[in-house]
Amino acid sequence: MLIARHRGWEIPESRVTPESAMLNRRGLLAGAGALSIAGAVTAHATPNPKFTAGRDLTEEKYATTYNNYYEFNDSKSVSQQAQALKQRPWTIKLDGLLKTPRTIDIDDLMKQVQTEDRIYRHRCVEAWAMTVPWTGFSLSQLLKIAEPLASAKYVVFETAQDKTAMPGLRSPNYPWPYVEGLAMDEAANDLAFMVTGLYGKAVPPQNGGPLRIALPWKYGFKSAKSIVKITFAEKKPMTFWEGIQASEYGFWANVNPAVSHPRWSQARERLLGSNEMVPTQIYNGYGEYVAGLYEGRKSEKLFM
Binding site for ligand MTE (CB under 6 A): 67-71, 124, 159, 178, 207-208, 220-221, 223-225
User: Per residue, what are the HEC states of 163-179?
Assistant: CCCCHHHHCCCCCCCCE
Closer to ligand MTE by CB, 85 or 97: give it: 85
Closer to ligand MTE by CB, 159 or 284: give it: 159
Binder of residue 65, out of Mo ion, ligand MTE, none (CB less than 5 to 8 A by kind) = none
Question: Is residue 221 involved in binding Mo ion (CB under 5 A)?
Answer: yes
Among the listed ranges 24-32, 47-55, 62-70, 147-155, the one in contact with Mo ion (CB under 5 A) is 62-70
Which single residue brings its beta carbon nearest to ligand MTE? 220
Binder of residue 71, out of ligand MTE, Mo ion, none (CB less than 5 to 8 A by kind) = ligand MTE
Pairing of strands 128-138, 268-271: parallel
Closer to ligand MTE by CB, 94 or 195: give it: 195
Closer to ligand MTE by CB, 94 or 130: give it: 130
Closer to ligand MTE by CB, 154 or 240: give it: 240
Binder of residue 223, out of ligand MTE, Mo ion, none (CB less than 5 to 8 A by kind) = ligand MTE
Closer to ligand MTE by CB, 20 or 247: give it: 247
Among the listed ranges 36-44, 61-69, 187-195, 197-205, the one in contact with Mo ion (CB under 5 A) is 61-69
Residues 117-136 that bind Mo ion (CB under 5 A): 124
Annotate the chain with DSSP letters as a single string.
Answer: ----SPPTTS--GGGPPPHHHHHHHTTGGGSTTHHHHHHHHHHT-SPPGGG--SSPPPPHHHHTTS--BTTTBSSS--TTGGGGS--SS-EEEEEESBSS-EEEEHHHHHHTS--EEEEEEEE-TTSEEEEEEEEEEEHHHHHHHH-B-TT--EEEEEE---TTT-GGGG-TTS-SSPEEEEEHHHHHSTT-EEEEEETTEEPPGGGTTT-EEE-TTB-GGGS--SEEEEEEESSPPPPHHHHH-TTTS-SS-B--TTS-BTTB--SEEEETTS--EEE--GGGGTHHHHGGGGGGGTTS-TT-
Min dist CB 95 to ligand MTE, Å, is 18
Q: Out of 168, 204, 210, 220, which residue is the one contacting Mo ion (CB under 5 A)?
A: 220
Closer to ligand MTE by CB, 70 or 217: give it: 70
Min dist CB 189 to Mo ion, Å, is 20
Min dist CB 71 to ligand MTE, Å, is 6
CA–CA separation, 186 and 152 (whole Å): 13
Residue 15 CB neighbours (<10 A): 11
Residues 67-86 that bind Mo ion (CB under 5 A): 68
Among the listed ranges 89-97, 218-226, 272-280, 292-300, the one in contact with Mo ion (CB under 5 A) is 218-226
Q: Which residues bind Mo ion (CB under 5 A)?
A: 68, 124, 220-221
